Amino acid sequence: MAAKPEDIMGDGSILKTIIKAGTGEEKPAWGNKVKVHYVGTLTSNGEKFDSSRDRNSPFDFQVGSGVITGWSEAVPTMLLGEIAKFTISSEKAYGPGGSPPKIPPNASLDFEIELLSFTDREDVLQDGTLMKKQLGKPDEDSWVTPNANCDVEFKLTIAGGDEHAVSWPAGTGCPHGLPPRLREGLFEMRKGETCSFLLPKDAPGVDYEVTLVSWVENEECVSGDDGAVVKRIERDKTIGKDDWKCPHDLDTVHMRGKVWVDGDEAKCVDYGEIPPNTDGSQDASVYVVDEDLTTSTGSAVCPGIDAVVKKLRVGEISTAIIRKDYGFKEGPLAGQPLRCRLELVKIDPQTPNWEIKTTELKIEAVNAKRCLGNAWVARNDIPRAIRRYGAAIEIGDSDYDIVDEDEKRRLREAVSACKLNRAMCHLKVKNYQDCLKDCSDVLDIDSTSVKALFRQGKCYLALDKWDAAKESFRKVLELDDGNMEARRGLQSVRVKMQAQKEKEKKLYAGKKLFDGKDRPAPKKAPASACCDASAPDGSCCPPPPPEAAAPPPAEQ
C-alpha cells in the first residue's frame, strides 16, 4: 500500500512522499548550500520536463535563493541521502505564467529529489578543501578585504583551545604550522569578522576560528618587475579632497625620511626627520620627481626612491625595500639593496597639459621638455630621455583648440623634432617597433626627413626586412647623395642578403628538385643584390671610408 503524502506546509501547497529514508538527524536550514539530484514531471500527465540525472550532473543551490519557493520549503524537510517525491502547487512553482514551452500556466509539478549533501559553510575554493562559516559580523565601516600581497594580523583559536594573536606576512611560510590554504580564507574576510574554517583534506576534523584584526598591503612600485621596489603603508594618507592623488614625473614633491643599506642602517641618506605627528611645518627635502638626482638639501635620490614617491599620497608614511639595481650607482650606498621610510608632505604638480592653451606656450613647453630629454641622452640614460620626449609629445599632440593652420604647423614641427629624438632612443635600446612608429609619424609631416628615413632603414635592417631597409636607405641617398651612413646601410643589406643566399644554397645542396626537361632554365643573376644596375667598374656601392662617421647627435 502506497504511503500517504504528508502535507508539510499544512495548506496543501506541498505534499511529500518519502521514497527512501535518509540518515542522521540534521536537515538543511535556510541559507545552507545543498546538492541534489532531481527529476521534474507535470502532475497532470507525468510528462518529464527536466532531470539532473539525465545530465548526470547534480544541482547545487542555496536554500532560499535562486529556486522556486516550493523547493526552498521542501528541501529543508529532508535528511541526508533521503529520496522523496514532492507535489508542488502552481503558486509555489511557476504560477500563471508557467515556464514555456515545457511548463504550462498554473501547472502543479512533481519533483523526485535526492539530497546528496548540504552544508552551512561556503566552499571558498570551490573544491571542498576550504569551508567557511561566519560566526561574527565585520565592522560596520569595513567593506574591503585583504589580498595575497598583504601582511595579515588575526586572532586564532584551534579546536576550541586558547585564543592567540597571529601575524602572517605575505610571501612567507605558514606560521605555527597552519595549513597554507587557510590564508586563502583570510582573503574572503573583512575587518572585525569572525569565521570558522574547516579544511577536510589538510586537517580533518580541526576547526579554525579566526577573527580578522588588520592588514597592511605590500604594493609593487615598478610595473612589470615584481620585487624590484615594494612598499607597505605604515600610516595612511591624510583625508581630504585630493587624498587620492599621487605624484607624477616632473612634479615637485616635499618629503621626509631616509634610505639606508639593508642590514646596515648607519649607511644612509637623510631627507629630514619624520615627526611623531602630522606636523607639516618641519623642514622637508624638495626635488622634482624622475628629474632631479639630488634634493634641495643635497641628498641623493635613486630610481627606487622615485618609484616609492610616485606611489605615496600626502600624509602617508611608508616603508619599502629596494632591489640593488634600482638603488644608487655611486656613493657609499652604491650597488646595495636598500630600505627606506618616507613621508610625503606636499605635492606641487606641474602645469597640466590642458591648462597650456596658446600655441606659443605649447611650443615653449614642448621645447623645454625636449631639452630635458637631450640632457638625459648626453648622460646615456636612454629610458629617462624617452620619458621626457614622451611628455613633450603629449603636450604638442593636444592641438584641438588651435584653429590657425600655420600655428598647427609650427607645433607639429616641434613635436616632430621630439619624435625624431625619441626614435633615436628607441633604436639605441632596440625598441624597433616604437622607433618605426615615431619615424612614420615624422614622415607623415615631412616625407623628406633624412634622419627619419635613415632611422627607419636601421630598424628594418635590424628586423631583417631587407627590401624595406634598402628602400629607406635609397631615399636618403636621393635626398643626400653624400650620406655615407646610408651607403653603409645599403652595404649591410647586400651582405645580409648574400649571407642568406649562401645559407639557402647549403640547405638545398644535393637535393634533386627537377628532372630532365622539367628543369627550369637558369636565370641570369642580377648585377647586385643591392642595386638594380651596377656601376661601370662592376661595383654595387662605393666602398665605405676607412673610418665610420660618428652617429648623428640628438636634435637640439
Whether 526 shows a pLDDT value over 70: the answer reads no
Mean pLDDT of 88-116: 97
Mean pLDDT of 445-470: 97
pLDDT exceeds cutoff 80 at 533: no
The predicted structure's pLDDT at residue 131: 93
Residue 184 confidence (pLDDT) above 50: yes
pLDDT for the residue 468 = 97
Catalytic residue (one of 8, 18, 59, 68): 68
Best-predicted range by mean pLDDT (76-80, 126-130, 241-245, 275-279): 76-80
Say if residue 513's pLDDT is above 90.
Answer: no
In tens, the pLDDT along 318-334 reads 999 999 999 999 999 99
pLDDT, residue 539, reads: 44
Tell me whether residue 38 is one of the annotated catalytic residues: yes
Average model confidence (pLDDT) across the chain: 89
β-pairing, 164-168 with 150-158? antiparallel
Model pLDDT, residue 512 = 55
Return the pLDDT at 143. 84
Catalytic one of 38, 154, 287, 389: 38
- What pLDDT, on the 0 to 100 scale, is given for residue 107? 97
Whether the Cβ atoms of residue 356 and residue 362 lie closer than 8 Å to each other:
yes
The CA distances from residue 486 to 168, 197, 537, 540, in Å, are 62, 71, 21, 14
Q: How confident is the model at residue 1 (pLDDT cuts 50, 70, 90)?
A: low
Angle among Cα 362, 366, 371 to the nearest 5 degrees reads: 150
Could you confirm whether 68 is annotated as catalytic?
yes
Residue 188 Cα distances to 191, 210, 211, 430, angstroms: 10, 12, 12, 44
Q: Of 49, 61, 187, 432, which one is the catalytic site residue?
A: 49
CA-to-CA distance for 458 and 407, rounded, in angstroms?
A: 32
Residue among 94, 118, 454, 473 flagged as catalytic: 94
- pLDDT above 70 covers a percentage of the chain that reads 89
Segment 151-163 mean pLDDT: 94
389 catalytic per annotation: no
pLDDT in tens, 331-347: 999 999 999 999 999 99
- Checking if the pLDDT of 549 tops 60, the result is no
pLDDT in tens, 104-128: 999 999 999 999 999 888 889 989 8
Quick one: cell of 303? 630610481
Supply the pLDDT for residue 279: 62
Q: Which of 111, 326, 328, 460 is catalytic?
A: 111
State the pLDDT at residue 357: 87
CB count within 10 Å of CB 177 equals 7
**pLDDT value at residue 542:** 46
Spatial separation of the C-alpha atoms in residues 97 and 104, rounded to whole Å:
7
Q: How confident is the model at residue 520 (pLDDT cuts 50, 70, 90)?
A: low
Residue 530 has pLDDT above 50, yes or no: no
pLDDT of res. 405: 87
pLDDT single digits (tens) 353-371: 989 989 999 999 999 999 9
Residue pLDDT, tens place only, 407-430: 989 999 999 999 999 999 999 999
Residue length of the chain? 556
Active site residue 50: yes
- In the chain, count H helices and then E strands: 11, 19
